[in-house]
A = this chain, B = another copy of it.
Amino acid sequence: MIRTSCIETAPGVWKLTLGSGERITPFQVLSRRAAVDRMAMLPKAGCCPLDAGQITTRKTRRGFEVHLPLAPDEQIYGLGLQLLSFRQTGLKKTLRVNSDPRCDLGDSHAPVPFYVTTGGYGVLVDTARYATFYCGSTQRPAAPRETGPQRGIALTTEALYAARNSAEFREMIVEIPGAEGVDLYLFAGPEMGNAVQRYNLFSGGGCVPPRWALGPWYRVRGDFSQAQITAFTQQLREEKIPCDVLGVEPGWQTHAYACSHVWSEKFPDPAGFVASLRAEHFRVNLWTHAFTAPSSPIYGALLPHAANYTVFGGLVPDMLDGEGRKLFTEHYRKTTVVLGVSGYKIDECDGSDFIHSPWSFPELSEFPSGADGEQMHSLFGLLLQDSAARLYHSEERRTFGLVRNSHAFAAAQPFALYSDLYDHRQFVRGIVNASFSGLLWCPEVRESASGGELVRRLQTAVVSPILQINGWYIANPPWKQWAVDANNNGEFVPGWEAWQERCRGILELRMRLIPYLHAAFFRYWRDGIPPFRALVFDYPSESESRGIDDEVLIGDRLLAAPLIDDGPPRRLWLPPGAWADFWTAEIHEGGKFVDFPVVEGRFPLFVKSGSVLALAFPTLHTDDPRAFHLEVSIYGDGALPAALLEEYAPDRPFDRNQANLVHLAWNSQKEELSCTREDPHSRPLYSVSSVRFPGKEQERLS
């Protein structure tokens, strides 16, 4: 037991120094500043949420152990983007970075050594090592007894291995390989959600994406040329498909596995290409990865600032080495940022050494900064995000991108995670699980087995942080043909126009939601509340909510239950209170399970009764001024006002001083909508086009 200190390092955050920690940890290496001012607005926490005296440690040949108490019924959530399980209670998770986790063992694109519990606190274990968390899964010997409880002889393997640990003594054990100590950061509640808020604010507060990043993204086929992409985008506009971001895949580089980081001859005029798309209100997002080919102009200079092993034959730049980082980012500044590229899709940074054909740098790699491969695997995506964010910040530009690896303290990073995986159920779980760990998740849409599946996947994308259709291996939009080969052969499904119409409607719903989502992200920044989150986040004391990982709370007024398969009805749980069906305004009393009859074109989406909900006119892109025309709906008594964010410098890094809050409140006595601006002298951006009373139209018209 080697405890050095326990201090309150930020409001409601205690730092517990145990033994002698490592130098390279997420806290140490990430440039971030805790939002202390905003943390001060959270409920006061009088003392450290765990009794430090009950936390014990042990140094072994294997590494460093921390043992933390658990109450008998305490439920555990978090540990990053766990796609295969929601509640971590009773599980053993090793936080290895892996792009292709097949088993529920902790492997993840974004394993985060942070968990929260229904005990109302959070614990961040500040390590970049592949730590193992025994989440109440271990048991100590009991006293001898005369006779054991008699059990029938099991006749299935399931029965044999059914969890049969009694709860006589429960603990969380964290084992950190190779370490001699670690710092813990303990985040106070009182509720679990408050602990997450504190964690996000301690990370700098959630990121506020530009409005365009909340519109639909479309990535075109990887081998498309400049001319093909231009033609494709023209068709999107002609066919009235909403789209804000156009994603360009590997074909833009002369060599992609590894990367040359140089525009290929398929793009004879990169600056003109980006500018012409921008003129059509598309932002260009560029795919790339960090592994640098011998043919890259920066290869020679990067060699001394890279790992001693390669990936795809390319150098692994040491993103903890100032010179290596600078070489890398300066090259991207000159060749992409100044051209107007809006951001990146940073691929392959998760690596996968845990598949049949391992391809990433080994954990035993050495980096010039002193990091080893294990530490760098944990931090690689985070450092790349941070580098890109700082690059754009230095140009006074806002960015938003996609990334395939992340870790601790990532809330402020302007990135969402994505994956090559494609299980729809896991994708939905990803949305809610990400919310415990300061992550955003993009369950992208690619091919489908049926039109119905395509629609359901697109609906799920609507209720996720980023809505992206990723056509990297299909030449045409998936609603014309959802089967890959036929799509590439230009064989469209019969009646594709009707499918396109349905999908357009879904994308338009997303466009209508942008003001609402933008405001929810502002609360992510200000209060640390994830814009998309699990039900248990808001309803921790409702036991039903503790196991629900296929429903999503969006902002403070909406709840969605994505449809995974085509079998109606969809059974879902509604939290206590009255909830209006978004489509029919029918009121459901919550606090119980309901069966939602699935109707074509709809999915379970509910509005908290009493809400003032402001939706935008559905435009083709967020630059369209009509995107600020609001249709306001008053649900129930309208007692819950709406707050929307107006940004005056939307293309520059987010600045609270260049943003305004608009409050839309319904006065049920006067039957009047009031619109109040935080700064009354500021220039209005939003305007109310109409006010509706869902479910009461008839009544009011009569």
Chain A residues with a Cβ under 8 A of chain B: 60-63, 65, 84-85, 90-92, 102-105, 132, 134, 137-148, 150-157, 160-166, 173, 175, 177-178, 221-223, 249-251, 254-258, 260, 293-295, 299-300, 303, 306, 308-310, 312-313, 315, 352-359, 362-364, 372, 374, 420, 472-473, 488
Contact = CB atoms under 8 A, between A and B. Distances in A.
B223 A356 contact: no
Number of chain copies forming the complex: 2
Given A141-B310, A166-B313, A357 B161 contact: yes
Nearest to A249: B153
Contact of A150 (B143, B255, B488): B255
A656 B372 CA distance: 54
B294 A372 contact: no
Contacts of A63: 178
Contacts of A309: 138-141
A141 B488 CA distance: 37
Contacts of A162: 357
A108 to B, nearest CB: 14
Contact of A105 (B157, B173, B354): B354
A313 B102 contact: no
A217 to B, nearest CB: 19
A357 B255 contact: no
Nearest to A145: B294
B148 A260 contact: yes
A396 B145 CA distance: 36
A143 B312 contact: no
Contacts of A306: 141
A309 B165 CA distance: 11
B141 A295 contact: no
B364 A62 contact: yes
A104 B356 contact: yes
A161 B62 CA distance: 33
A103 B102 contact: yes
- Interface centre among A61, A144, A303, A353, by most chain B C-beta atoms within 10 angstroms, is A144
A173 B364 contact: yes
| Chain B CB within 10 A, most for which of A90, A141, A356, A374 | A141
Given A105-B354, A153-B222, A165-B312, 14 more contacts: A62-B372, A62-B374, A132-B363, A140-B310, A144-B294, A148-B258, A151-B255, A154-B250, A154-B257, A157-B420, A160-B257, A161-B359, A163-B359, A164-B359
A165 B132 CA distance: 31
B155 A222 contact: yes
Nearest to A364: B175
A431 to B, nearest CB: 21
Nearest to A139: B310
13 contacts: A61-B178, A65-B364, A91-B357, A91-B358, A102-B102, A103-B354, A134-B362, A141-B309, A150-B255, A154-B250, A155-B221, A155-B472, A164-B359
Contacts of A258: 148
A503 to B, nearest CB: 22
A363 B92 CA distance: 11
Contact of A62 (B85, B142, B223, B363): B363
Closest 8 CB pairs of A and B: A148-B295, A153-B223, A92-B358, A144-B300, A155-B473, A144-B299, A61-B178, A145-B294
Contacts of A156: 473
Nearest to A306: B141
Contact of A256 (B153, B256, B295): B153
Nearest to A488: B155
A261 to B, nearest CB: 12
B61 A372 contact: yes
Contacts of A295: 145-148
B364 A140 contact: no
B313 A372 contact: no
A223 B155 contact: yes
A634 to B, nearest CB: 46
Nearest to A258: B148
Contacts of A473: 155-156
